[in-house]
Structure 1
Amino acid sequence: MFRIIQALNNNVALVKNEQGQQAVVMGLGIVFQKKKGDLIVPSKVEKIFSLRTEESKENFLTLLKNIPLDILTVTYNMIDQLVDKYHFPVQEYLYVTLTDHVYSVYQKLLKGNYQESHLPDISDAYETEFAMAKEAVEMLSQKLSVVFPDDEVGRMALHFINAKGDYEVSENKQENARKRVLELVEEELSSSGIKRSAENGNLYDRLMIHLTYLINRLQTNQQDETSLINMEEFVKSDYPQAYQIGQAIYDVIEKELDIDLSRSERVYLVIHIQRLLK
């Protein structure tokens, strides 16, 4: 049985199972005329999304405020299936960044204003991630009834590359250092004319989520060591302003954490910043 923690609408609820684990359950009318504390019969549930951490719950609820439920569920299902099929461990924030990306692309395709990125081909260095991305594009095209272009394979592969991880970091580990770095990064962004607003809130938050995970990885001495020289040259020439800001943030992180960052990490930063500058 599932006990309702929060009814999200007539068909979706945040629940707790008999083992005390939180999840989001979905099914036609399963929450109708029910309230917090009421029970939902498992046989009525059509889909279950396990929320392993408090962060998982917050991410899902945040996305649900801005993204239609069908996009969210299709993307979550897609990630779960690919992670399971390829035995590919990912960090939790992939669900946030990739869902946000899928919705953005979906809207552009419907409006007819999608633009290709022409990213350099790095598939040889990341065969698994590109195989996953290719399947992701096929699955999304089928489930959402909109043809996602081949250009999206490279873009989605970057999400899988960036989110790969098989480790956990304590919430309290070096928390002060993390907060200090994030404060300095926000100051750097502000001095560059980038401040959080109602218009850019989602993208700004995605960047801060990325930075939080980056700092966590660095605090456990884990970062992407694979050279992305071709990608670096691309972002440097095509996104000069974002590259300059990314370099400044890159320098702040290196100085505060006393660590040498890989060039790949700078590429990821620039891509996030470019989205804010558009």
Structure 2
Amino acid sequence: MKFTIKRIYNNNSALVEMNVGKEAVVQGKGIGFSKRKGDLLDADKVETILYLGDFKDHKQLADLLKNVPLDIVACVWNAIDEVKNLYDLKLLNYLYITLSDHVYQAMRKLRNNTYQPNLLPALKDKYPKEYLAAQYTLRVINRDLDLNFPPEEAKNIALHYINAEGEENEELSKDSIAKEINVIVTNILKEYGISRKLSNENYYDRLMIHLKYLVDRVESDTQDAVTFSPLMQESMKQQFPKSTVITEKIIDEIAQKLNINLTDNERIYFLIHIQRIIQEEKN
């Protein structure tokens, strides 16, 4: 099999075009050393092949591979592809990036004995299919990466699946509105002393990705149709008062300035994202 280099990520990984017309990321000790775009790789040195399929955002992938080992990325991507078919889930491509990053960060905490279960409530009653997919993914991760995540980690994975549900569009609509929402959210977070920093960057970036796709859901009228029970909503408000206050202020300002009315579910998603940022800073 022929591997033609399209981009070198580091000495051990590269983006290649294969002789069957497919793109893939390959990993192997020293395979990128002294190589350039257009060079051929020695197939005998390739240890891992990650087929990209429909994923075309090479910049996001390059940023991911700067920090996350390819074996973790390959494991997570393969698991996502499997659950798409097994559970008939339509998932946006950014999930490949966010879930890979999450697994890597959680793995580091697990190995450093600083891992803590998520305090947020489980949503499996409302999202049974996503939870089954998450439990399957967790089994694959524990098996293939030789890890020992507790069953509660499925909550985190399920949340990634829930947030990423949708069909990929060629271009997100109303990009200017998306930028305005981003400004509103970041400004309000700063009012409460919350900004992107090393201690919270992973969850902060996930909130920004959620905002990126929010306008598309509003414009296509595909905000989540599944509703959370009033009891659950009230319980979360009482349990996370600061996150609730911040969320309500964000929702109100988006409504006033942009005339966009978000569903109760979007409020819950905002609350969950903000609470995770605050919780990560405390940890």
TM-score range, shorter chain: 0.7 to 0.9
Change (3 A) 1:143 1:36: same
Q: Is the 8 A contact 1:231 1:267 kept in 2?
A: no
CA distance in 2, matches of 1:59, 1:255: 33
CA distance in 1, matches of 2:184, 2:26: 39
User: 1:90: Cα distance to partner?
Assistant: 0.3
TM-score, normalised with respect to structure 2: 0.85
- The answer for the alignment partner of 2:226 in structure 1 is 226
User: For residues 93-172 of structure 1, what are the structure 2 equivalents within 5 Å?
Assistant: 93-117=94-118, 119-168=120-169, 170-171=171-172
In structure 2, runs of 5+ residues without a counterpart are none
Is 1:209 aligned to 2:204, yes or no?
A: no
SS in 2 for 1:138: helix
Change (3 A) 1:155 1:203: closer
Q: Is the 8 A contact 1:12 1:24 kept in 2?
A: yes
Moved more, 226-235 or 19-28: 19-28
Change (3 A) 1:73 1:115: same
- The answer for the alignment partner of 1:271 in structure 2 is 272
Change (3 A) 1:237 1:65: farther
Q: Is the 8 A contact 1:22 1:52 kept in 2?
A: no
- The answer for the alignment partner of 2:193 in structure 1 is 193
CA distance in 2, matches of 1:225, 1:92: 21
SS in 2 for 1:61: helix
- The answer for the alignment partner of 2:54 in structure 1 is 52
SS in 2 for 1:155: helix
How many positions carry a matched residue from both structures? Answer: 276
- The answer for the alignment partner of 1:245 in structure 2 is 246
Is 1:63 aligned to 2:90, yes or no?
A: no
CA distance in 2, matches of 1:102, 1:234: 28
In structure 1, runs of 5+ residues without a counterpart are none
Please list the CA deviations of residues 202-229 of structure 1 after superposition, one character each: whole Å capped at 9, or x if unmatched: 3322211111111222122211121123
SS in 2 for 1:40: coil
Change (3 A) 1:174 1:17: farther
CA distance in 2, matches of 1:16, 1:250: 45
SS in 1 for 2:117: coil
SS in 2 for 1:39: coil
Q: Is the 8 A contact 1:2 1:15 kept in 2?
A: yes
Please list the CA deviations of residues 21-52 of structure 1 after superposition, one character each: whole Å capped at 9, or x if unmatched: 65423345443432122133667654123163
- The answer for the alignment partner of 2:76 in structure 1 is 75
Please list the CA deviations of residues 151-198 of structure 1 after superposition, one character each: whole Å capped at 9, or x if unmatched: 122222121111111241524x32222212211222111112112234
- The answer for the alignment partner of 1:24 in structure 2 is 25
Letter of the 1:69 counterpart:
L
Q: Is the 8 A contact 1:181 1:256 kept in 2?
A: no
Change (3 A) 1:199 1:124: closer
- The answer for the alignment partner of 1:10 in structure 2 is 11
After superposition, the CA RMSD in angstroms is: 2.6
Change (3 A) 1:33 1:121: closer
Letter of the 1:208 counterpart:
M
- The answer for the alignment partner of 2:174 in structure 1 is 174
Letter of the 1:222 counterpart:
T
CA distance in 2, matches of 1:121, 1:204: 21
User: 1:67: Cα distance to partner?
Assistant: 2.4
CA distance in 1, matches of 2:99, 2:50: 19
CA distance in 2, matches of 1:19, 1:188: 50
Q: Is the 8 A contact 2:8 2:14 kept in 1?
A: yes
